[in-house]
Amino acid sequence: MLKMNEGAETFVDIMSEKAATAAQEKIVFDEAFTLHHRTVFRAARSVVQDSGLAEDVTQEVFLRLYNHLDSIGDTEMLRPWLIRVAINVARNTIRGNIRANTRDENYVKESAEVSVYSVESDFEQRESTSEINRALNKIKEPLRSCLILKQQGLSYREIAESLSLNETSIGQYVARARKEFVRFYGKIGREIQ
């Protein structure tokens, strides 16, 4: 059996005591922040390439340190832990910004398409209304009034009473007005194209 000399035993005892006290040392947040703020900031800035964003990442890293202070038992592992967390948070921030920018771009594209569509459809609707009015204005009275009132849902009797016409002739007036409308509306459509 090998026996250690007295000097070696003393050295081993001293090293084990230091290791035990290092493991028992509590990490103090203020000291950790003061000692490692610059390192965390540099690590974050190397990933995000923006000082403002790197400061945000640094704040997030130290917030995580504050929340997980009890889970980091060894002070020697604090600096590597902070750097690893800084790099991961910085990467996640970049990914989040890319997603946010993509969402914003898609929203802008969709809203632009909707606004173009609404402008186009609004123009088409106005143009169509204008064509209808021009065609109606070419139809002579009382045919025009009979057609308009019939389109509004009035019965032949109601049309006859409102226009002071014979109820038996309203059907003929409406039929003739429809024929004229189709004829005039078709001519207007050919004129515009």
pLDDT tens track for 8-53:
555 545 555 554 444 445 678 889 899 999 999 998 988 888 899 9
Count of structural domains, the chain: 2
Helix spans in the chain (H): 6-24, 29-48, 51-67, 78-138, 143-151, 156-163, 167-192
Question: Domain range for residue 151?
Answer: 139-192
Domain-located, residue 79: yes
Neighbours of 72 (CB within 10 A): 15
Q: Between the ranges 29-38, 63-72, 111-120, where is the mean pLDDT highest? A: 29-38
Task: Give the pLDDT band (50/70/90) at residue 175.
Answer: very high
Domain-located, residue 28: yes
Final residue before a domain boundary, out of 86, 106, 126: 106
